Amino acid sequence: MKAEEFAGRREQLMRMVGADGIAILPSAPVRTRSRDVEYRYRQDSDFFYLTGFAEPESVAVLVPGRPGGEFVLFCRERDQEKELWDGGRAGPAGAVSTFGADDAFPIDDIDDILPGLIESCTRVYYTMGMYSDFDSRIAEWINALRASASRSAHTPHEFVALDHLLHDMRLYKSRAEISAMRRAAKIAGKAHERAMGVIRPGLFEYEVEAEFRHEFRRNNAWVSYSPIVGAGRNSCTLHYVENNCQMQDGDLLLIDAGCELDYYASDITRTLPVSGRFSPEQKAVYEIVLDAQLAAIELTRAGRHWNEPHDAAVQVITKGLKKLGLLEGSVERLISDGAYQRFFMHRTGHWLGMDVHDVGDYKVADQWRLLEPGMVTTVEPGIYIAASSDVPSRFHNIGVRIEDDVLVTSNGADVLSKGLAKAPEDIEALMSS
């Protein structure tokens, strides 16, 4: 992502914040995995969206109209000894020269400098409740200002939820963002293809997961969430991430795996027959889910509201389950009383972007939001038939989900993950080649 992209975002946000406001964003904290081992650091999405700065212990401040510079970055100082162990740091000078800060200070000086920046503003834009330690520091700075002898009419008297503004911006993807998301989808698609080439009875689920991790890393991407690789009964466990069972002939295998590239995620699911051929029951269920997905994608277009694709998927799935004899009664009734939810218990999609379950409201003023060009959503209906005495055994342990990443454009859906097989015959052909 180019420096101008980040600068443009800051400008857009600052126009909304206005000359008497200040926006403050902390970086994500470093998190401990176990004892003295840390997780690989991942910058906070909002912070990165505005700065492109990936270091911990940083604070970004936007002060529209400040004569000394509108974009102020607090960050760690250069330190030869520490950099030897942990890698390079930009330091305040690098924050200015490389990251476009107008002004930058050592993070250790923030107590001395930030209150002075806040003091001249009436509104503080800040996302409360995300990082409690930083929430407390904000409260301390404000309280100190209020208590100080120099307090004046300028002391801020209004807090505004920064995430409301920022998350609405993040919902509409720019060309550069769409391009990053296309690349993330492409890599994940290749990884799914790679997996289709190795799946066979006797393999363990983790061996399939390994194919994804290999393909992601060789493209400089990381998993964007823990991959779900569930065969047989595991295909019916929505958040199955153990991935430690051996796959049997006759199992269906549900793989939900996507990657993050340059801070943008893909999220793709395919469901495959471990033997390479779907059984008649597996295929029947699969085709219902595929029809539901195609119907939902068709409605993922500008002018439709957020829930229309889901409604379409629910219709197709409920009709299909009735036809298979798994539900009885009128389709209308099965939908209105939620009977279909026994087999399709999640929503058809979610916003996708820097976060897998990306930010942005699904409703505006209590109404489903209209889809607009630039929004990206997943479309991922499913049917999950766990083993149960009131379901014919030939349907047991059939869990199917098909998930693609879809960009809303001014003329219909643009499937970012297109090109990856999903028709049953295409999957069977790929698996036998």
CB nearer to ligand GLY: give 358 or 428: 358
Q: How far is CA 88 from the centre of its chain?
A: 28
Do the Cβ atoms of 286 and 320 come closer than 8 Å?
A: no
Q: Any catalytic annotation for residue 380?
A: yes
Integer Cα distance of 332 and 328 in angstroms: 11
- Closest separation in Å from C-beta 14 to Mn ion: 33
405 binds, among ligand GLY, Mn ion, none (CB under 5 to 8 A by kind): none
- Closest separation in Å from C-beta 378 to ligand GLY: 6
CB nearer to ligand GLY: give 72 or 181: 181
CB nearer to ligand GLY: give 110 or 228: 228
Q: Any catalytic annotation for residue 425?
A: no
Query: Active-site residue among 205, 256, 404, 405?
Result: 256
Integer Cα distance of 135 and 210 in angstroms: 40
Which of 209, 256, 404, 414 is the binder for ligand GLY (CB under 6 A)?
256
Q: Does 225 bind ligand GLY (CB under 6 A)?
A: yes
Return all residues near 266 (Cβ < 8 A) that are at least 6 apart. 181, 184, 185, 187, 188, 189, 224, 258, 259, 260, 352, 405, 416, 417
Query: Active-site residue among 342, 350, 369, 396?
Result: 350
Angle subtended at Cα 52 by Cα 69 and Cα 161, rounded to the nearest 5 degrees: 70
CB nearer to ligand GLY: give 205 or 428: 205
Q: Any catalytic annotation for residue 310?
A: no
Return all residues near 39 (Cβ < 8 A) that are at least 6 apart. 30, 31, 32, 33
205 binds, among ligand GLY, Mn ion, none (CB under 5 to 8 A by kind): none
Q: Any catalytic annotation for residue 207?
A: no
Integer Cα distance of 195 and 204 in angstroms: 12
User: Residues touching ligand GLY: how many (CB under 6 A)?
Assistant: 7
Q: Does 267 bind ligand GLY (CB under 6 A)?
A: yes
β-strand 404-409 against 412-415: which pairing, if any? antiparallel
Query: Active-site residue among 33, 36, 40, 81?
Result: 36
Query: Active-site residue among 357, 372, 394, 425?
Result: 357
Q: Does 380 bind ligand GLY (CB under 6 A)?
A: yes
Return all residues near 278 (Cβ < 8 A) that are at least 6 apart. 252, 286, 424, 427, 428
CB nearer to Mn ion: give 318 or 378: 378
Q: Any catalytic annotation for residue 401?
A: yes
- Closest separation in Å from C-beta 200 to ligand GLY: 25
Q: Any catalytic annotation for residue 214?
A: no
Q: Any catalytic annotation for residue 357?
A: yes
Q: How far is CA 155 from CA 116, 122, 140, 296, in A?
A: 10, 6, 14, 51
Structure tokens given for 206? 């983790």
Integer Cα distance of 264 and 353 in angstroms: 6
Query: Active-site residue among 133, 239, 366, 390?
Result: 239
Integer Cα distance of 310 and 29 in angstroms: 36
Integer Cα distance of 218 and 141 in angstroms: 45
Q: Does 131 bind ligand GLY (CB under 6 A)?
A: no
- Site map for ligand GLY, 388-427, x if CB under 6 A? ---------------x------------------------
- Closest separation in Å from C-beta 230 to ligand GLY: 12
**Single-letter residue type at 93:** A
DSSP assignment of 142-200: HHHHHHSTT--TTS--EEEEHHHHHHHHHHS--HHHHHHHHHHHHHHHHHHHHHHHH--
Q: Which residue, among 354, 372, 411, has the nearest Cα to 9 in the 3D structure?
A: 354
Q: Any catalytic annotation for residue 256?
A: yes
Integer Cα distance of 379 and 295 in angstroms: 10
CB nearer to Mn ion: give 92 or 353: 353
- Closest separation in Å from C-beta 257 to Mn ion: 8
- Closest separation in Å from C-beta 269 to Mn ion: 5
44 binds, among Mn ion, ligand GLY, none (CB under 5 to 8 A by kind): none
Residues in contact with Mn ion by CB under 5 A are 256, 267, 378, 403
- Closest separation in Å from C-beta 7 to Mn ion: 31
The residues that touch ligand GLY, with contacts defined as CB under 6 A, are: 225, 256, 267, 350, 356, 380, 403
Catalytic sites, residue numbers: 36, 239, 256, 267, 346, 350, 357, 380, 384, 401, 403
